[in-house]
Structure 1
């Protein structure tokens, strides 16, 4: 049945009123890959002429330096109950790159120094809040955020009713349920369509409730509603969302892996299959304007170059700059670089740089990313005396961080680990090398392979999920199975090719890879796919 206001939107030239809901957003509050999707999709939809409103918490780590027209008080505050506690939430507003941002304000968010986990400073203040571990009040935070977004509707006029509410990942997945069943907003969202995007269906990323009683306490929803989200004893936000929303994920390959049960989802695959839920895969794009290596202001790199035109001179200047300032014996003496990053190990500055293949890993330091596979492979290559040097950069699990530290100290002169995160240093580490590593056990989409190709660095990845968008032996290399032997074999072959033929042998491939992703994965093109989906939903 067509919606009553179907004609009105087409009088507005087919433009939609879209709410985009995310716990993180690039340039404002950053954590994982969700930030890039939320930001680039919102900006691309705005450029298509749609009305966009983004909802995000106001954290203690929120960067407001580029937010214009910030209003401390925006609309009336709202109150609701969570786990027997009355929560009062207020709203701020600002404009970021033309997009309207609504900030959810509450002390539980403003006291947090990172989006999902505790920071080093928070651990110093309270040893129980260990750096890198998730917030102990995450269930409260998620409910606070989602209920606040839904209750914001009390401030809205009729012409502000959203046509589409697009919820990013599990911390926003229950919004369609609250919009339908919270008495306080009864009727407001009756004509709204909902989309929930799964960014990671792996164990530990569902934000599920351990049982129905816990879900009832935190959500305030009746058991007859919550039972529809049962997965064993747990209550899954994604399964609840599937009753009231279109479910998408961030690559076609990952959608197939979830539905077929080929990736570990801690039972979520079985839940979708039992319900007969369709899962739509839309591969993420990349906003090249934020990484353009021919513009230092955008790339944040010290030298300019252009892989599209086979101009790589600046890339190798970036390599030399990185090796001198962030990976040498000399830089090791200073230890601290910027924003808390630390160097462990070093690369021997007396060696001739052109004699070696340089390989980097940048990303979260967690089990999912295959850190152990990577280190085992690197060790075997060092033991074989291959002309190769490794650069590791990132943060995450303390245990795996310690493994990287120990490895870098063991192989001093041959590898370096930059612990922590600084955007400029992270980008430089990727741009400085010949090959980037992506040994993930599973990967919903992946952005780091895009960034590598944009910077003229060829990715080597386990053939899983969204990493399969790499065209094997054309825009990078895929290997399988994901063990150290398979990865070592692939890398050894590449190192030997470079050793005997020179790195220029990969010049044509570098240019093609960069051109390929520009032509296929620009966010401007991906946004058109979402636009088509929204309009199909709206017309139902």
Structure 2
């Protein structure tokens, strides 16, 4: 049994802004099921939801601040969650990274440096918790200072740093160095300095024993200029320490046989009952009830990364076809306005829901026939895996985790019964439109379509697969000599 400290800025179901929270809520549970002693540490935000008793475990003094570490538990498990209670930093209204107006917190460097400092104290058994980590598993830029600070410790734990999205790097002006009180030897071009700025993510990339990212294809892509965001040279230099492990999904939460949000449960042997969810979705969104017309779904942040502009370019032509289109998401206000304008022009063919609604997300995955995910880049992606589990055929661009989890429907894969979706290459509207037309042709080929649905539903996207790979990785680094 290994003692693993899992350091994160968010975890579902406590607080969630994106896929990092899903990973932080699921991977520790899968590792615990494999017999590991894992603890999660994260900030105690004002917006956090707790599901069991919360109590004070210890108090620390860091940089003249009195900090409490609270303990609660992950719902449905015995995993302890340690919450860093610092009201000055974490008790304001807003989400973990931005205020109520959507602006980044002005003291984000100080806030997440504190998370990192306390994680190091806990990992080194200096926090009165009587627990010392064998492995510290850090996630994204908010935790990047942990490997850097641990590098200065004797007899330190082994350290993993996972990149969930390299586009977000935690870059701050060098002037914050004074308030962060970081050891001077870390401030160098081979350390935390990046073009005269402080880079939190470089702390993870330079100092961790192993770097992982959330799909094998993304691990390759970030070593190139298009996806490397200026760090491709560093990642290429350290590529012997870089590994891609595909994220899993919560197969209990996303299960069409038991999903409480569905109108009718179904599996690959009762696919006809999927239609009841399509009818329920059409009814809920005031679309004409029609089982024969293909219903295309999309759940996404409305930002360029997700290819929303490509979809907007395709929609005028797509909506002349016998299809329905439903979208759930929020983001760029210009995209939101364009979508609403198109909905006004095509009543009865299109439904737009701005915001996020968990119940509607599940019903879209079950009720749609086709799911669109034309991301320009996608480190892993989850919705393409949810869709396959629900027998909803994904259309994806060949990038990152989308390329690793969807098998394109070409003559060979249709013939050998492995096709699970439709994949296209170029990040432009004509390539996406061609993929949509190809999918609509397959939709009319009932036997082939049903085979694709069954192939997709039989894929194993469970966290157990990913957790075993992480555990194997932990085993490779534990024998390394710690200085």
TM-score by length of 1: 0.81
Q: 1:538 aligned to 2:478?
A: yes
Moved more, 270-279 or 450-459: 270-279
> Could you tell me how far 1:229 is from its partner in structure 2?
2.7
What is the aligned partner in structure 2 of residue 509 from structure 1? 452
What is the aligned partner in structure 2 of residue 318 from structure 1? 277
Take 1:229 and 1:251, find their aligned partners in 2: how far apart are those partners? 25
What is the aligned partner in structure 1 of residue 422 from structure 2? 477
Q: 1:366 aligned to 2:303?
A: yes
Take 2:364 and 2:255, find their aligned partners in 1: how far apart are those partners? 16
CA contact (8 A) 1:239 1:272 kept: no
> Could you tell me how far 1:38 is from its partner in structure 2?
1.4
From the superposition, tell whether residues 88 and 112 of structure 1 become closer, same or farther in structure 2 (CA, over 3 Å). farther
From the superposition, tell whether residues 486 and 317 of structure 1 become closer, same or farther in structure 2 (CA, over 3 Å). same
> Could you tell me how far 1:54 is from its partner in structure 2?
0.3
What is the aligned partner in structure 1 of residue 200 from structure 2? 237
CA contact (8 A) 2:253 2:259 kept: no
Take 2:179 and 2:264, find their aligned partners in 1: how far apart are those partners? 51
Q: 1:279 aligned to 2:261?
A: no
Take 1:54 and 1:239, find their aligned partners in 2: how far apart are those partners? 22
What is the aligned partner in structure 1 of residue 216 from structure 2? 252
What is the aligned partner in structure 2 of residue 434 from structure 1? 369
Q: Deviations over 1:39-60 (max 9, x none)?
A: 2110011111111100111222
Take 1:27 and 1:367, find their aligned partners in 2: how far apart are those partners? 27
What is the aligned partner in structure 2 of residue 175 from structure 1? 146
CA contact (8 A) 1:386 1:495 kept: no
Take 1:514 and 1:439, find their aligned partners in 2: how far apart are those partners? 21
- The one of 71, 89, 106 equivalent to 2:67 is 89
> Could you tell me how far 1:277 is from its partner in structure 2?
6.1
Q: Deviations over 1:204-246 (max 9, x none)?
A: x111223x333x2343224431212333233322322233212
What is the aligned partner in structure 2 of residue 74 from structure 1? 57
> Could you tell me how far 1:195 is from its partner in structure 2?
0.5
> Could you tell me how far 1:505 is from its partner in structure 2?
4.0
Take 1:103 and 1:267, find their aligned partners in 2: how far apart are those partners? 33
What is the aligned partner in structure 1 of residue 126 from structure 2? 154
CA contact (8 A) 2:279 2:291 kept: no
CA contact (8 A) 1:31 1:116 kept: no
Take 2:475 and 2:193, find their aligned partners in 1: how far apart are those partners? 31
Q: 1:134 aligned to 2:88?
A: no
Paired residues for 1:312-351 under 5 Å:
312-325=271-284, 327-328=285-286, 347=287, 349=288
CA contact (8 A) 2:165 2:379 kept: yes
Paired residues for 1:197-212 under 5 Å:
197-202=162-167, 205-210=168-173, 212=174
Q: Deviations over 1:21-70 (max 9, x none)?
A: 11111111111111121121100111111111001112222111x3x342
Moved more, 435-444 or 89-98: 89-98
> Could you tell me how far 1:19 is from its partner in structure 2?
0.4
- The one of 186, 194, 211 equivalent to 1:225 is 186
How many pairs does the alignment contain?
A: 462
What secondary structure does 1:114 align onto? coil
Take 1:276 and 1:323, find their aligned partners in 2: how far apart are those partners? 48
CA contact (8 A) 1:296 1:302 kept: no
What is the aligned partner in structure 1 of residue 265 from structure 2? 304
What secondary structure does 1:296 align onto? coil
From the superposition, tell whether residues 271 and 472 of structure 1 become closer, same or farther in structure 2 (CA, over 3 Å). same
Take 2:212 and 2:25, find their aligned partners in 1: how far apart are those partners? 17
